[in-house]
Structure 1
Amino acid sequence: MQTNNDSGGKGNQGRPKRKRITTQYQKETGHKQIRRDGGSGPQKPHREGLYRADRPHRKDSHAPLSKQPKVPGEIRLNRFIANSGICSRREADVFIETGLITVNGKTETRLGVKVHISDDVRLNGQRINPEATTYLVMNKPKGYVTTMKDKHADNTVMDLIAGQCTQRVFPVGRLDKNSTGVLLFTNDGALTEKLTHPSYNKKKIYQVQLDKRLKKSDMEKLVQGVKLEDGPMHVDAISYINDSEKDVGVEIHSGKNRIVRRLFESLGYKVKKLDRVYFAGLTKKGLERGQWRYLTNEEINKLKSGFYQ
């Protein structure tokens, strides 16, 4: 009786032998055919791994940066560029890799780098606005610091527009904590640079309340010019507002830090109140303290063109 060695119950009796076929590859290389899972084929050399000592890893200066921690107010550079409407993010990556982008004056070629919304980003020397440009004017109240964020300050001017303005804007120039009046906000970097540059020569008007009567002789000194620690400075015009002679109106072109307060302090006066009533062609008309509004198209056009005093 013939035994059956196949566990499936069928014997090999009567089964035709399979003819081995030698491929052209086997003839040329001498590799034998071996059987393995999923079929049969010529044996291939085993790949030891991705790294080989005789083939060092290539360093790519344009390789994306590793994942960076999230910082409030920061976005990826390619998104910053794409948000301006100039191009897509993929095209922005090409601009970055080819060295056409600068960030705060330095060429940036790294992909994945993050920038702040207020950073100076340029393509071929032209500043880029990351969002649709927005302009608003505020009647700043006393007790608010003119800054984006200050952990040491109880209140900043940004608190007054938080949750109401959908675009991210920042204040142009400075009004110190105890000063009030006209304050411009925008995300137009080119305009901000223009308005805050030392060469900007447009008038600003302030109403000043002093701790004592201002002598006419001191008014003349302010017009002629007084010497401050950073050089001589003068006002363009000055006049009494009322009979008390403590309240005066001052017109000045200089944009130096705390210039109005320093001018009066140099003559022995203390400024009790300082209210800016005119800046960059804008006034606070119709705005209560702490209120703000968007600029009209006419105001924006004048602001950009500089068609104001």
Structure 2
Amino acid sequence: MSTEENFDRGRGSKKPGKNARKKSMARGNAPLKNEGTSKTKESKSPSAKPKLKFDKDGKEIGRRQKPAVEVKRSNPQDGIRLNKYIANSGVCSRREADTYIATGLVTVNGKVVNEMGYKVQLSDDVRFDGRRLNPEPNTYVLLNKPKGFATTDSNAKGMTVMDLVANATTAKIKPFGRLGRNATGLLLFTNDDEFVQKFMKKGITRLFHIELDKNLKMEHLKKIRDGFTVDGKEIHVEDISYVTNSPKNEIGLKMKHTGNSIIRTIFENLEYDVVRVDCVTLGPLTKKDLPRGRWRHLTQNELNLFSML
């Protein structure tokens, strides 16, 4: 069979022969892209990348837009589930808390709550078997108070000591004891109700450096030391003395009262005006390494000393 016959035979069977010329894929023979189909697929695909634009220098124009993701954030005003509140206070687990709630051992603001899923606020008075609970860790902050700040957590009093410890913690601490607006020295803050109740009854010994408008007579110093009565109320101090190497109008007074007005009551009854009051020590705490207007957290060793009082 000749070469031509072999070629014709292969073409007739639609199969290229051995020496058949392959189909060229040069321009004009290349398959055409279906532009309409391509665009349709791009528009339907959710993962398709946005079309970018570039300037003459090759820099990208505009910014790539990322799909917005909606983040659902919890609102503290919505409250916290009662069983979680109890569990966070360290009493028991959530499952056990549900049992206690169902049996009526939990009260919220004085009322028994046995509803599952009930929500409370951090400011609510939640009690388990009569004991008030606190879902926050116990926090203790010591401040060296400067003049001009009221000892209160009310915003109606202008500048308060709460402004000075605002960045100390997120816990809802309150001042324990009082110092007058113009008094200075150590002031303790805590959210530990058991600590507050314990020392409200027992008191914490505080040492004050007091300056009077005139020298304190020795007979008055002895009278204060021995104790006396003002408006039918007995007043006792632990100790009183003149400040060493200072004028006789500077007094050191040690007492357990948590209030500040008692100091003025003592001296005004003896016809002295109090010029300055500075709390030098508070229980086992001192002002060492704590400048005026600064605060710090109590150490575990200091807390252990309080537990021994």
Fold in common (TM above 0.5): yes
Match of 2:160 among 150, 156, 175: 156
Q: Give the Cα–Cα distance (whole angstroms) in 1 for the partners of residues 96 and 184 of structure 2.
A: 45
SS at match of 1:152: helix
Deviations 1:48-77 (Å, cap 9, x if unpaired)? xxxxxxxxxxxxxxxxxxxxx9879x7664
On the 8 A contact 2:77/2:121 being kept in 1, the answer is: no
Q: In the alignment, what sits opposite 2:263?
A: 260
Query: What is the deviation of 1:190?
Result: 0.6
CA drift of 1:246 comes to: 1.2
Displacement of 1:257: 5.4
Q: Is the CA contact (8 Å cut-off) linking 2:141 and 2:168 kept in structure 1?
A: no
Query: Residue 141 of structure 2 aligns to which amino acid in structure 1?
Result: L
Distance 1:164 1:256, change over 3 A: closer
Kept in 1: contact 2:106–2:112 (CA 8 A): yes
Distance in 1, matches of 2:121 and 2:178, equals 23
Among residues 224, 227, 234, which one is paired with 2:226 in the alignment?
224
Of the three residues 237, 257, 267, the one matched with 1:235 is 237
Q: CA distance change for structure 1 residues 282 and 88 in 2, over 3 Å: closer, same or farther?
A: same
Deviation at 1:264, TM superposition (A): 0.7
Asked if 1:114 is matched to 2:114, the reply is no
The 2-side partners of 1:110 and 1:272 are apart by 56
Name the structure with the higher helix share. 2
**1:281 aligned onto 2:281:** no
Deviation at 1:262, TM superposition (A): 0.9
Which of 264, 270, 273 is equivalent to 1:270? 273
What's the offset of the Cα at 1:108?
2.6
- Are the structure 2 counterparts of residues 228 and 179 from structure 1 closer, same or farther at C-alpha, using a change threshold of 3 Å? same
Question: Hey, what does 1:167 align to over in structure 2?
Answer: 171
1:10-21 to 2 correspondences below 5 Å = none
How far has the Cα of 1:202 moved from its partner?
4.1
The verdict on how the C-alpha distance between 1:245 and 1:120 changes in structure 2, with shifts beyond 3 A counting, is farther
Rg larger in structure: 2
Residues 273, 257 of structure 1: CA spacing in aligned structure 2 closer, same or farther, 3 A cutoff? Answer: closer
CA distance in 2 between partners of 1:75 and 1:258 (Å): 40
Q: Which deviates further from its counterpart, 77-86 or 230-239?
A: 77-86
In 1: Cα distance, 2:289 partner to 2:260 partner: 28
CA distance in structure 2 between the partners assigned to 1:275 and 1:257 by the alignment: 11
After superposition, the CA RMSD in angstroms is 2.7
Shift of the alpha carbon at 1:219?
A: 0.6
| 2:177 alignment partner AA | G
- Give 5+ residue unaligned stretches, structure 2: 1-74
Q: Which moved more, 1:129-138 or 1:261-270?
A: 129-138
Query: Who is 1:45 aligned against?
Result: none
SS of equivalent residue, structure 1 residue 167: coil
Counting aligned pairs with the same residue, the percent is 43
- Partner residue of 2:182? 178
